[in-house]
Amino acid sequence: MTKSKFNQCFIVAIASGKGGVGKSIATVNTAEMLVRLGYKVAVVDADLGLSNCAALLNESVPATVMDIKKGRCDVEDVMLKTQGDFTLVTGADEPESDVLDWSELYTSLDQVLRKLRLENDFILIDTPAGASDLSFWALDRADMGVLVVVGEPTAISDVYRFCKFVLDVDPTYPFAAVVNFAEDENEAQNVLERFNTIVRHFMNREFSYLGYIPLDDLVRNSVTDQFPVVRAHPEHQVTKELEYIASALVGISKKNEKNPVTTSTEAEVSNQ
């Protein structure tokens, strides 16, 4: 997978081996936390036809990337500024029976990415679950992939198979992992170690740990309330763990960029 950067925006593809592991929850809360840390952020919900990000935020989508493809709107029309102060773009908000090949949207999605790169420090792409062509599109455009891993054996098996598909194409692809639904830090580390044991044995790789999202009623309630944990409970332990994840992404972006992204405050100081 070869990647060419348009500028210094850092793109992260949030991926999983199966659905139901909390990928979209991790995406929107990490986006809000990155905003709180002072960065300009966009989310592209590329889980076409099964988009959840807008629903998790209780936001109404003005238009989708599908509308761009069909000539019903321009790129600017799909950019929704959310209450969490990040930009949300939705690929498609309902299945389209007349579109059997989602690759027809790649040109329009790339248009959106080019626009977002010019205006943001981070772009998070919420990918479809599993090894779909659209997941590979997202990983190809991203600077790194973040795997959402849970301790359920079938979920670990599914995410392993997903990684194998990717690493068979690009053995050096930069993956890291976030563990979801963990009781505490020790359980999260144990889950990742179980996963890494399989990856080391079969693929001679191991994935770094970005942090974990606690198994907490607060997270489940945030889905029902359609209100992100980060915004509703800024001092809660769940939010602190999400800050750890967001800060880890910032650190990786600064290591990977010759001209690392800076917050607006940092930019003002450097210009003085």
Distance, CA of 227 to CA of 18 (rounded, Å): 24
Determine the straight-line distance between the first and last CA of the chain, rounded to whole angstroms.
40
Output the six-digit token pair for 196: 């890494």
- The pLDDT value recorded for residue 247 is 98
Predicted TM-score of the model (pTM): 0.91
Topology given in CATH for the domain delimited by 10-265: Rossmann fold (3.40.50)
DSSP E strand boundaries for the chain = 10-15, 41-45, 80-81, 87-90, 122-126, 144-149, 175-182, 208-214
Distance, CA of 44 to CA of 53 (rounded, Å): 9
* Residue 8 neighbours by CB distance under 10 Å: 15
- Residues in the chain where the model's pLDDT stays below 70: 1-7, 49, 95-101, 257-272
3-state secondary structure of 98: coil
Distance, CA of 91 to CA of 4 (rounded, Å): 22
Mode of pairing for the β-strands spanning 122-126 and 41-45: parallel
- The pLDDT value recorded for residue 104 is 80
> Quick one: which of 137, 144, 90, 145 has its CA closest to 112?
90
> For the purposes of burial, counting CB atoms within 10 Å of the CB of 206, is it exposed (0-12), middle (13-18) or buried (19 or more)?
middle
Task: Output b/e per residue, 13-46; b: 16+ Cβ within 10 A.
Answer: bbbbbbbebbbbbbbbbbbbbbbbbebbbbbbbb
Distance, CA of 141 to CA of 6 (rounded, Å): 10
Measured torsion, CA atoms of residues 29, 30, 31, 37, in degrees rounded to the nearest 10: 110
Distance, CA of 18 to CA of 129 (rounded, Å): 5
> Quick one: which of 261, 237, 266 has its CA closest to 249?
261
Distance, CA of 206 to CA of 17 (rounded, Å): 16
Find out whether 138 and 11 touch, Cβ atoms under 8 Å. Answer: no
- The pLDDT value recorded for residue 96 is 61
Measured torsion, CA atoms of residues 21, 22, 27, 30, in degrees rounded to the nearest 10: -110
- The pLDDT value recorded for residue 268 is 42
